[in-house]
A and B are shown apart, each in its own frame.
Chain A
Amino acid sequence: MSGEPELTSGWVDAELAEEFPELGLDSVRVEGRPGRSPVAVRERLRGLSDRFTGAKVVHMRQDPVPWAYRVFFRQVGVDPDSDRTPVERIAVERLESGGLRSQNLLDDALVIATVETGVPVIAFDADKVGEQLGLRLSRSGERLGGEGRALSARQIVVADEDRPLSVLFGEISEEHGVTRSTRRMVLVALRVKGVPAISVEEALWTAADVLTEPP
């Protein structure tokens, strides 16, 4: 399809691929800058907000995609009841605050994509990261972003050819995240067992659409 940004499959370190054969990292590069969300995006966010009810949020963990991420959280040593999966975190925040509040175009795009598909999406500044993104285990003495805080050994990280860019589902390197000066972004989504590839693609295209839609 013309007009749609090209989706790239990232690499997965051999040890991780052996443990989690269906693990994958897909990404898409888009031209776009952060800023205030246009009215259409804010309205879309409001519409999504209305979909949540207490019962729906409770049963969310039995929906196939959120459940697949909960399982993956468990398998990599994260308690999803303390550190919630992204879609559950958004849902609980929505219940607590009474709505999905617009923050900025990028955050809104990521929230919309995550809520609509259940697949979490993160973003980096495309001009500050390498061409090939992937997943690997952190090495002894390695630092987030190359010069940031020290990582513990064998943490699962999103990395480019040279350095770890973010802890999986966690902190993003300040030097490589999206800032006001960003002009091109790379959107990244994690594929785990039980999540159809189409959902991951949908999440990336949804976020890309929101970011590139004319105001």
Chain B
Amino acid sequence: MPDTLVQPSQPFIPGTAAPGTAPDERAARRTLLEQIARLEDELSQLFCSTWPRKGFEWSVPSRGGPRMLSLGELENLRDDLAERLTGARRALSDRTYVEERHRRRIEHMLLEPEKHKWVRVSNEDIGEPGCKHWHVRPRWGVLGMLLSWWRVRISSGCPLAT
């Protein structure tokens, strides 16, 4: 017995036929479905790459499904997914550029803290999870400020939940 029993087609009801089911459109529909699957795969990979960063837009509007989309709707969906993917890639690229600058800044802060007075960089700024941060502060308070004794304090992590 086959895995799936195929029920014969329903009788034709005027006005209900999908514009996308004509025989000459089948190849195009199949291609579009494959493209949508590939784009969803790339979006999923990108989503995982962005974690734990926040503020990205992933949603591609629903088409009122679950239903069979017309050829035009499939094309629009494919285009929207491609646009979302491009936008998210660009946003991630911009974000990682800024994060890289923050990482370099931490190195400079560690080398020459007196040139980065009161600067504070957090894990979030470098795209890492957790609450750790680097903060340039004077050693021994006012005395350190007066004598220009600066150092980088590294916090130990997130505060305990209360």
Chain B 65-103: CB-based contact to A (< 8 A → 1; otherwise 0) = 111110001000100010000000000000000000000
Contacts of B8 in A (CB 8 A): 14
A103 contacts partner chain B, Cβ-Cβ < 8 Å: no
Smallest CB separation, B72 vs chain A (Å): 12
B residues in contact with A139, CB < 8 Å? 10, 13, 16
CA distance A15 to B6 in the complex (A): 10
**Residues 1-37 (chain B) with a chain A CB within 8 angstroms:** 1-10, 13, 15-16, 18, 21, 26, 29, 33, 36-37
Stretch touching chain A among B53-61, B111-119, B133-141, B149-157? B53-61
Q: Indicate if the CB atoms of A12 and B6 lie closer than 8 Å.
A: yes
Docked complex Cα distance between A140 and B47 (Å): 39
Among the stretches A17-25, A35-43, A180-188, the one at the interface with B is A17-25
A156: Cβ under 8 A from any B Cβ: yes
Tell me the complex Cα distance, A82–B33, Å: 20
Asked whether B159 is an interface residue with its Cβ less than 8 Å from the other chain, the reply is no
**Given contacts A77-B63, A137-B68, are A12 and B7 in contact (CB under 8 A)?**
yes
B6 touches A75 (CB 8 A): no
The answer to whether A67 touches B77 (Cβ under 8 A) is no
Q: When the two chains form their complex, are residues A9 and B1 in contact, meaning their CB atoms are under 8 A apart?
A: yes
Which of B4, B40, B44, B77 has most chain A Cβ within 10 Å?
B4
Q: Which residues of B contact A (CB under 8 A)?
A: 1-10, 13, 15-16, 18, 21, 26, 29, 33, 36-37, 40-41, 44-45, 47-48, 51, 58-69, 73, 77, 81
CA gap between A77 and B69 in the complex, in Å: 7
A92 CB-CB contact with B under 8 Å? no
Q: Which residues of A contact B44 (CB under 8 A)?
A: 61-62, 67, 70
- Taking a contact as CB atoms under 8 Å apart, the answer to whether A77 and B3 are in contact is no
Per-residue interface assignment for chain A, residues 81 to 99, with 1 indicating a CB less than 8 Å from any chain B CB and 0 otherwise: 1110000000000000000
Chain A residues with a Cβ closer than 8 Å to the other chain, count? 46
- Residue among A10, A134, A154 with max Cβ neighbours from chain B (10 Å): A154
Enumerate A132-158 residues with CB–CB distance to B below 8 Å.
134, 136-137, 139-140, 152-156
- Quote the shortest CB–CB distance from A19 to chain B (angstroms): 6
Tell me if B's interface is mostly helix, strand, loop or mixed. Answer: loop
Q: Are B58 and A77 in contact (CB under 8 A)?
A: no
**Most chain-B Cβ atoms within 10 A of its Cβ — which of A14, A17, A71?**
A71
Contact across chains for B40 and A70 when beta carbons are under 8 A apart: yes
CB-based contact A67/B7 at 8 Å: no
What are the residues of chain A within 8 A of B47 when measuring CB–CB?
58, 61
A169 interfacial contact with B, CB 8 Å? yes
User: Which chain B residue has the least Cβ–Cβ distance from A13?
Assistant: B7
Q: Which 8 A-B pairs have the closest CB atoms?
A: A77-B65, A77-B63, A11-B7, A76-B66, A78-B65, A14-B9, A79-B62, A156-B66
User: Is there contact, CB below 8 Å, between B4 and A24?
Assistant: yes
A112 to B36, CA, bound (A): 30
The interface residues of chain B lying within 8 Å CB-to-CB of A59 are 48
Docked complex Cα distance between A81 and B5 (Å): 32
